[in-house]
Amino acid sequence: MSDLVGQRATFTRMDQSTKEDWDIIMANLSHHAETTVADRVLDQLALLEGDHGGFACDRLTHSLQTAHLAERDGKDDEYLVCALLHDIGDVLAPFNHPEIGAAIVKPYVSEANHWMVLHHGTIQGYYFWHHIGLDRNARDALVDSPHYEPTVEFCGKYDQMAFDPDGVTPPLSHYEPLVRSVLRAG
């Protein structure tokens, strides 16, 4: 099917499409997933640099520190990529950013790590929601999930601890091989 990469389908309406058109589309989709998703994710992460959002460090530094703390504790590559990408949606959708990060990682990671990224915002709220008029215990509604405690650990040990402008912050290039490895088409 690699000879189909770069070709284009011929239909102008979905109801006019053919199997041959979809063979072309699927070959190009697979090629895109293997060659450009990681590039675009890394580019999007780089956009977090300089965006402080009022925090003591910018969002890229926060993401890198979160991944670094998890790496220091020996977490696996998939977990580290999730730690790195958990807030990637902050600048695009600040009120529902976990859904963006979760959508990106879903095809590539375990159900537990996907759940962690998807629900980290609510669980992280325990540390600050009471300061902004929200219920810090809203996370209790998620307690029946088998992924609840690992996500509480993620937020407690890594996410909420990674806002230090003087903290250890590896460069994004340190995590690039992991991003490329984890965000490969399966």
Residue 170 sits in a domain whose CATH number is 1.10.3210.10
- pLDDT value at position 96? 93
Average pLDDT of span 98-116 = 97
Please indicate, yes or no, if residue 55 is contained in any of the structural domains. Answer: yes
Assess if residue 51 is contained within a domain: yes
pLDDT of residue 83: 98
* Distance of alpha carbon 106 from alpha carbon 110, whole angstroms: 8
Q: What is the pLDDT of residue 185?
A: 55
Tally the domains of the chain.
1
Q: Is residue 54 part of a domain?
A: yes
Residue 174 predicted with pLDDT over 70: yes
pTM assigned to the model: 0.89
pLDDT score for 80: 98
**Residue 9, domain member (yes or no):** no
How many CB atoms are closer than 10 A to CB 134? 12
Q: Which of 30 and 57 is assigned the larger pLDDT?
A: 57
Q: Which domain holds residue 167?
A: 39-182
Within-domain flag for 101 = yes
Of the CA atoms within 13 Å of residue 109, those in its CB half-sphere come to: 28
- Tell me whether residue 109 is in a domain: yes
For CA atoms 88, 89, 91, 92, give the dihedral sign: positive
- Check whether 106 has a pLDDT greater than 90: yes
Other CB atoms within 10 Å distance of the CB of residue 17: 14
- At residue 53, the pLDDT reads 87
Average confidence (pLDDT) over 75-92: 96
Q: Tell me, yes or no, whether 12 lies in a domain.
A: no
What's the mean pLDDT in 166-176?
A: 97
